[in-house]
């Protein structure tokens, strides 16, 4: 079983959960990210029980899916992308109109870090009420060298663009 097989299986299970599926359009990206991450962990643990996989505490500094047997892990990052707006005149008034739901594809990490990790980057979308994976990338990256610090009025986080990921990771889908 490959990473793609596990991702597909996990997404199928989420889409078959009618109680959850009902909320796909209402869930914030971070919440749905956690749901996908935990589903991937469960399905990977079923596929590879001897790896002794678990989800460490978010404050542990360990990746999202970690193998006690191999002392290695995989950091899961999901995004829907961010919309792009354009200023247009409508009925003689200037207004911003959404021209794309996901023109800006970035992944984020809430806490600035400096270590290297193996990453699974997933570009998600919701089509016809179903959660789908549009693109998936895998690779080893450095938080310190490959991600950039983004500061806003309310917080500081790390971000990485799809362009950077395309240059440094293997595209699986």
Give me the residue spans of the domains in the chain: 3-171
Query: What is the pLDDT confidence band of residue 75, given thresholds at 50, 70 and 90?
Result: very high
Average pLDDT, the chain: 87
**pLDDT at residue 33, rounded to an integer:** 87
**Which of residues 48 and 80 earns the better pLDDT score?**
48
| Model pLDDT, residue 136 | 96
pLDDT tier, 91 (very low <50, low <70, confident <90, very high otherwise): confident
**Cα four-point dihedral sign 127, 105, 153, 56:** positive
Q: Are 150 and 115 in contact (CB under 8 A)?
A: no
The answer on pLDDT for 41 being more than 70 is yes
Which tokens in the block code for residue 79?
A: 């995004």
pLDDT score at 59: 79
Quick: pLDDT tens for 146-160: 998 888 887 888 889
- Cα dihedral sign, 27-32-35-40: positive
Nearest to 143, CA basis, from 118, 125, 120 = 118
> What pLDDT shows up at residue 31?
83
The two tokens of residue 135 are 């693109």
pTM, entire model: 0.85
Q: Identify the pLDDT of residue 29.
A: 62
Helix (H, G, I), strand (E, B) or coil at 149: strand
Which residues, other chains included, contact 110 with Cβ-Cβ below 8 Å and sequence gap of 6+? 155, 157, 158
Whether pLDDT at 78 is above 70 = yes
CA distances from 25 to 76, 126, 131 (A): 21, 7, 9
For 92-130, how does the pLDDT look when each residue is reduced to its tens digit (9 = 90+)? 787 777 666 666 788 888 776 778 899 999 999 888 889
Return the HEC string of 7-33: HHHHHHHHHCCHHHHCCCCCCCHHHHH
């Amino acid at each position: 079983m490959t990473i793609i097989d596990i991702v597909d299986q996990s997404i199928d299970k989420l889409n078959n959960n009618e109680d959850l599926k009902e909320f796909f359009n209402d869930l914030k990206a971070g919440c749905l990210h956690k749901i996908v991450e935990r589903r991937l962990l469960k399905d990977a643990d079923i596929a590879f029980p001897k790896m002794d996989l678990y989800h460490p505490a978010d404050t542990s500094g360990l990746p999202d899916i970690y193998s006690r047997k191999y002392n290695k892990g995989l950091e899961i990052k999901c995004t829907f992308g961010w919309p792009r707006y354009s200023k247009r005149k409508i009925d003689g008034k200037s207004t911003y109109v959404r021209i794309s739901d996901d023109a800006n594809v970035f992944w984020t990490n809430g806490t600035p870090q400096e270590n290297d990790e193996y990453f699974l980057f997933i570009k998600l979308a919701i089509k016809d009420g179903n959660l789908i994976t549009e693109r998936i990338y895998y690779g080893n990256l450095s938080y310190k060298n490959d991600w950039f610090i983004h500061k806003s009025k309310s917080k500081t986080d790390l971000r990485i663009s799809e362009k950077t990921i395309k240059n440094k990771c293997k595209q699986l889908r």
